[in-house]
Structure 1
Amino acid sequence: MNNLHIYDNLLLFTFEIENKSKLPYDIDYIRYYIIDKKTAKLTASQEVDQQALFSENYSPRIEGNGRMKYVIAFDKFTIPDEKVFRIEINEKNGGRHVLFDLENSDIVNVEDI
């Protein structure tokens, strides 16, 4: 994540994904959700999906040794202390899987545009 801003009631995230491989990275899906930080074994975990309102400059493919920088917007939200906002990126027909977590402190210290 490069930047996080707030504009009216929108949270605007700027992400940059770099493919350091020579093989293209075809994105199967990107999922945004809130989940418990830690769960004990045999304990139920609740996941709450966050629906993006719009995105800009998103491409489902990152060429070899390339990068993609895109902006995505959500309705404003906060995260309870025992949870994280998780971004999950899965490769289509591949094994490259990326997880990235943000905590409430990352979101409440957001800058205005």
Structure 2
Amino acid sequence: MRTSFIIFILGAWGTVAYAQDTAYVSRDKTTALFFNSTVKMISRSTPDLDVDQKENTLITIKAFTTVFSPACIDVQEVSTAKIYHIPVEFSCGRAGRRIEVNGAPMPVRAIKTAGFNYSAVINKLAEGKRRDVIDHEKTGGVKAWVDKLSLAGNRIFFRLDVRNKSNLPYEIDFVRFYIRDLKTVARMATHEQEIVPLITTLHKKTSIAHKREIAKIFGFHRFSLSEDQALNVELYERNGNRHIYLQITQKDLEDLKTIAPAKQQPGNASVAANKL
């Protein structure tokens, strides 16, 4: 009996399963799963979910229907053979989030395309005062700006500044990004294309106290807009209604600044990018 037990333990040694927080999805919002290293899907596809591996460390999930039973997708880490069991449920309000699987910050790859040091790009955009403001909005004593729209390699970056002048702290629940037509015909279904930032310096559950201000950087795959489209940036307050809505249009993309490549500094290959 003891020998059989030891054989069983040794056989199971190489496969360790990790339970993860629930990934909430909807038909209109894409939920993104970021991993620390290369992964692969090992679970079977389901007709209720659109699961797509965008990159080695990025998997996106979207729902095809509003009604489906709670599901689970299995993802395996290539280097360690660890298996992640990720529950998936439908939710309009909680869908569209960025989830860091295994809870650790995702490194920003400093040199990936055309010799770009994206760490240096982030530092350059984060420092100093805001400039070249694209859009701004104010509600309930909280004001936000989109500024420093830039192109570096094959990434589009911008800075999101948020200032709180109210006595009530402003806690950010999540930020949503999607491309949508500026004008829609009555009774015509509105098409939205959800996009997910590859790079962000925004921490989860960031709270802005009275008379405080933050500046966070977001980086995306290079994208384009037609004249009648806009990239919508929606900032949601946790347990509150002071939501903020901002836009980037085609004209703004035409005037974006280009950041030249910077040499990689030894020992500074990455910086921590935090989850939404």
TM bin (shorter chain):
over 0.9
**Other-structure match for 1:3:** 148
Which of the residues 40, 43, 48 maps onto 2:188?
Answer: 43
Residue of structure 1 in register with 2:170 after alignment: 25
1:86 aligns with 2:239: no
| Residue in structure 2 matched with residue 105 of structure 1 by the alignment | 251
Contact 1:13 1:71 in 2 (8 A): yes
Letter of the aligned partner of 1:103 in structure 2?
Answer: T
The alpha-carbon deviation at position 40 of structure 1 amounts to: 3.0
- Preserved CA contact (<8 Å) 1:78 1:108: no
CA distance in structure 1 between the aligned counterparts of 2:194 and 2:245, rounded to whole angstroms: 15
Note the alpha carbon deviations across 1:71-106, whole angstroms, 9 max, x for none. Answer: 110011111111111000111111101000111110
Q: Flag the structure with higher strand content.
A: 1
TM-score normalised according to structure 1 size: 0.92
Inter-partner Cα distance in structure 2 for 1:25 and 1:91: 7
Please give the alpha-carbon distance, in whole angstroms, between the structure 1 residues aligned to 2:215 and 2:181: 28
Which one of 211, 217, 237 corresponds to residue 71 of structure 1? 217
Query: Share of identical aligned residues, percent?
Result: 28
User: 1:54 is matched with which residue?
Assistant: 199
Q: Which 10-residue stretch deviates more, 83-92 or 58-67?
A: 58-67
What is the CA distance between 1:39 and its match in structure 2?
1.8
Work out the CA distance in 1 between the residues paired with 2:158 and 2:194: 16
Q: Give the TM-score, by structure 2 length.
A: 0.39
Unaligned segments of structure 1, at least 5 residues = none
Q: Give the AA of the match of 1:89.
A: L
Q: Which runs of 4+ in 1 moved over 4 A?
A: none
Larger Rg: 2
RCO comparison, higher one (Cα < 8 Å, 6+)? 1
**Cα displacement string for residues 5-49 of structure 1 (whole angstroms, at most 9, x for unaligned residues):** 111101111111111211111111100110110223322101111
Letter in 2 for 1:75: H
RMSD: 1.1
Q: Counterpart amino acid of 1:94?
A: G
> Which has a greater percent of helix?
2
Supply the distance in 1 between the matched residues of 2:152 and 2:165 (Cα, whole angstroms).
33
Match of 2:82 in 1: none
Q: Secondary structure at the match of 2:252?
A: helix
Match of 1:70, as an amino acid? K
Separation in 2 of the partners of 1:109 and 1:73?
17
